[in-house]
Amino acid sequence: MLGEDVIELDRERRQRLPSWSEIVDGLRSATSDTSDTAVEVLKRAKGRPVLQPRCGVGGHAEMLDLLRALESAGAPDLLSVTIDSHTRLRHFATADRVRRENPAQLNGYPLVAHGWERGRELVAAVGVPLQVRHGSPDGRDLFAVSLAAGITSFEGGGIGYNIPYAKDVPLADSLRAWQQVDAVTAELARSGVVLERELFGSLTAVLVPPSLSLAMTLLEAVLAAEQGVRCVSISYPQSGEVHQDVAALRAIRAVAAEYLPADMTVFTVLHEFMGVFPAGRDWAEALVHYGGLVGRLGGADKVITKTHQEALGIPTAAANAHGLRLARAACSPLLDFVRLDEGRVAEEQHWIEREVAELVTPVLERPRLATAVEAGFAAGTLDIPFSASVHARADVVPLRDPTGAIRYHAAGALPLSGDVLRRQHRLLSHRTAALTDEILADINYFADRPPWTAEKGQVPA
């Protein structure tokens, strides 16, 4: 059975799975000469990001239709199987009941309830690799079903899929669950099947300072490396200021080279803006296009795309395909003339890397990393802003500076140096309104108005 000595699974669910050897053979056959793994697709990026949309619906037939429609109309390089929230929280019986009674009520695809055989039908339905995206603090059973289905990419980690998502899941539990996922990932690599293990740097996706995003995914990457994983994707959420975003994407490779094993392959991923989207189509499309351009300028290997319908609800297949085309246009050689102020990017990258070092070094110096992460959150020396988890202090308060870049208004107990904090305070010295008003304004930074709209009393030239 599936890595019985490596990963703990629900006994009944384990009995429904194929044997370990059958799973490995299935993954190999799913990635034959005519099909690629997610990692093989990422290796072909070479300066132009590969593109992947989000997508997931409850019904099996509807999910098949959605994947085929996106492949036909949007030509993605990879496709997503976004999982429903019942499955994310391991409420498998509830997911199964809703799947049978009214699958349209689900906000994603309940893969565990549908079963690995139907998962293989999803894999066979399209000619590009699939990735499971979910948000579960304990994704072990979902991971096992994904592997049995022949899916070669699985997102998540014990920090990023717990503290931003769950109210009361102890970090010790989520870190242990994801250590087992990573141990199986390493075992598969030794069997010749290399998975994409993407680490979710978006966290709460609300005003996340770049250094905090990178620090969390870096710690997860080191934890994965401890289990023998030698291939990860580190993702970063677009903040909205292009120099800061490009610097953060470039910093991923620098911090990876500093802290991860030399033989570890690291891919960089940009999540297009995940905050409050403008409702107007023109401005929303401009924001999607902007995200693709940021990914290309930052050297991202993959961009997770958005749509002009983000403010309105779950996007249609047509809108999702259009979002892919907008992002692809932004990565076109036609826009290779676009240049940034490289001095400004370099300065941002310097400070991001310094902040990451100050955040992770005290944790990495401890003898047991998982225990050190848990202790860091308890003490507030690790933290995530706007987290609902009782296992994080959420004392960090970010705000935007005049350029739109995200800074630390309050750093809580984070071990940032005086030089870093003085710089942050200087860059935010203009923010003098009530703090709640400032935070709300920054959350709605792109939703309030397009940048080409004149301020009151101004007339565009």
Q: Is 226 labeled as catalytic in the residue annotation?
A: no
Give the pLDDT of residue 138: 98
pLDDT digits (tens, 9 = 90+) for 60-79: 999 999 999 999 999 999 99
12, 174 Cβ separation under 8 angstroms:
no
- Specify the CATH number for the domain of residue 161: 3.20.20.240
Residue 103 lies in a domain: yes
Residue 454 lies in a domain: no
Give the pLDDT of residue 119: 97
Residue 380 lies in a domain: yes
Q: For the chain, list residues with pLDDT below 70.
A: 1-4, 30-34, 449-461
Nearest alpha carbon to residue 41 among 27, 26, 29, 31:
31
Residue 384 lies in a domain: yes
Give the pLDDT of residue 13: 87
Residue of 99, 133, 140, 155 with catalytic role:
155
Q: Is 88 labeled as catalytic in the residue annotation?
A: yes
Give the pLDDT of residue 417: 98
Whether 326 and 392 map to the same domain: the answer is no
- In the chain, the number of structural domains is 2
Give the pLDDT of residue 35: 74
Rounded distance between C-alpha atoms, residue 19 and residue 405, angstroms:
50
Give the pLDDT of residue 460: 31
Give the pLDDT of residue 31: 64
Cα separations (Å) of 368 from 7, 46, 169? 20, 37, 20
Residue 457 lies in a domain: no
Residue of 88, 230, 328, 393 with catalytic role:
88
Whether 200 and 304 map to the same domain: the answer is yes
Give the pLDDT of residue 30: 66
Compute the radius of gyration of the chain from its Cα atoms.
Answer: 21
Give the pLDDT of residue 227: 97
Whether 198 and 239 map to the same domain: the answer is yes
Give the pLDDT of residue 459: 33
**pTM score, two decimals?**
0.95
Domain that holds residue 387: 365-443
